[in-house]
Amino acid sequence: MDNSLLVNTLRSSSLATLLVFFLLWLCKKKIIGWFEKDVSKDIERYKHELDTKKELIKHDLSVEISKVRYHSESIQEIYPELYQSLVISEGSMSYFFYSYYSQDWNSISESELEKVLKSKEIQEAEIERLVSLVKTQSSDRSNEIKQALNVKYLYDVEETITKSKNYFLLKRLFVSSNIERQVSAIYKKKWSVWAGLETWYLFGKSTSGVKFSDLKKEYNEISEMVRELEEIMKNELFPS
């Protein structure tokens, strides 16, 4: 073979090889460029998605923290107020069980009776009538005074229970299920005792069919239920 032909053949092969390598390098560069571009886009998109999710999580967390804070602040206000109203209505009943027989109305003076009746916000006309019974030493004065006070105290009991129940209904959304069950049970028993007292004192002990011992037992049960409620509230307000 002619040397010049061999040289030309080798030269052509080298150029072809170089061209192939160049084309391969160019393709590789293009492919890598496209890949890097796609990866960069994916990374940016992923970062954007992460940032979006992070903001959503922060927002949700902020909302939950606000809910917890609001609920905590709410029960710190509601529980003491609710408990106080229950104790007040319980106390208004105590007259019938612990104070009713302690006062000797036959020996009370006119001025003392007038002072007592005014403190109980008895109507003026009724005060004058009862004081006149003391003045005339009427044999019915003790029963009449007791009956007037019974009516007033029964009204006070009804009013305090109603106010307490209305407050509970307004704030019911914020109390726990344990509190709701206990408070509802207390109100149910209070209304039962109130109805029994009304029947006993206003319609006559002998004809009412109500046993005073049963009413007192229910009243003591109310006191125990209120103490139990106190412990439930403490555990929720100050968890250990």
- The reply to whether 213 falls in a domain is yes
Cα 234 to chain center, whole Å? 13
pLDDT tens digits for range 157-203: 999 999 999 999 999 988 999 999 999 999 999 999 999 988 887 77
Instruction: Give the number of domains in the chain.
Output: 1
- The reply to whether 51 falls in a domain is no
Average pLDDT over residues 233-240: 86
Q: What are the C-alpha distances in Å from 220 to residues 30, 168, 235? A: 90, 22, 23
- The reply to whether 144 falls in a domain is yes
- The reply to whether 48 falls in a domain is no
**Domain around 224:** 59-237
The residue among 64 and 131 whose pLDDT is bigger is: 131
pLDDT tens digits for range 65-122: 445 554 555 678 899 999 999 999 999 998 888 766 556 777 788 888 888 888 888 8
- The reply to whether 20 falls in a domain is no
- The reply to whether 36 falls in a domain is no
Q: Are 97 and 219 in contact (CB under 8 A)?
A: yes
